[in-house]
Amino acid sequence: MKIDIISVQPRMFEGFLGESIVARARKKGACEIFIRNLRDFAHDKHRKVDDKPYGGGPGMLMMCAPWFEAVESVARPGTRVIMTTPAGKKFTQRDAEALSRCDHLVFMCGHYEGFDERIRTLATDEFSIGDFVMTGGEIAAAAMVDSVVRLLPGVLGGGIAATKSESFNSGLLEAPQWTHPAEFRGMKVPEVLLSGDHAKAEAWRQAAALSRTEKRRPDLLS
């Protein structure tokens, strides 16, 4: 998979790309990730990519020309072009799974007060990671890239089994889990998980996942 991230703050991705699962995926050749500086597509000496909105209003808007040139320089037929915006669809695990099956992704990181409306015509998808506003779309893009890259074949040590029981994959939150010791400060691991009966343990996990979802995220059940 090839991923292009277009941003006015490219240095924000330096640590993210060099650590943990994303770094492992790049080293294994599961993906290539390129950071593109939007200012490289500006045409004035100040490398300006924003301007005042028509009709007045607070802040500055991102201009059309740099974005059109930046996206068109990397996109090809079949590319999914993802705009990070509070107005987008809420990003879910299902979206991560769908994107992980693509050959090429382009992430457009918003900044300032937002995008000139015409820039939206470049996007195949508009996503938000929650009902809150951040300074820019870089953190949202990093979160989505991480969720996609970890699903690529060969990236996680446990393969498909490492992700199939995770939260949201079955429509439920993941069941509680424990490791050694069996008792710590009076808190004990449920006996069914110590019994060695894998069928009973799996049935317990399914019931616990449903119970946790009902209590914490009943909206997922609807």
What is the per-residue pLDDT for 208?
A: 92
Domain-located, residue 45: yes
Q: For residue 29, give the DSSP letter.
A: T
Which of 149, 184, 209 is the endpoint of a domain? Answer: 149
* Contact (CB, 8 A) for 209 and 170: yes
Secondary structure letter of residue 119 according to DSSP: G
196 within domain boundaries? yes
DSSP 44: S
How many structural domains is the chain composed of? 2
**How open is the CA angle 94-100-104, to the nearest 5 degrees?**
130
Which pLDDT score is estimated for 164?
55
Cα gap 155→175, rounded to integer Å: 23
From the list 49, 31, 118, 32, the residue with the least C-alpha distance to 83 is 118
d(CA 206, CA 61): 48
| CA quadruple 102, 115, 5, 85: dihedral sign | negative
Q: 213 and 117, same structural domain?
A: no
Q: How far apart are CA 151 and CA 144, in angstroms?
A: 11
Domain that holds residue 41: 2-149
- DSSP bridge pairs for 188: 183
Per-residue pLDDT of the chain (222 residues; tens, 9 = 90+): 999 999 999 999 999 998 999 999 999 999 999 999 999 999 888 999 999 998 988 889 999 999 999 999 999 999 999 999 999 999 999 999 999 999 999 999 998 888 999 999 999 999 999 999 899 999 999 999 999 999 999 998 754 544 554 555 667 898 999 989 999 999 999 999 999 999 999 999 999 999 999 999 898 897
Shared-domain flag, residues 209 and 113: no
Give the model's pLDDT for residue 158. 56
User: Given this model, what pLDDT does residue 188 score?
Assistant: 93
Instruction: Say if residue 32 is in the same domain as residue 110.
Output: yes
Note the pLDDT of residue 119: 96
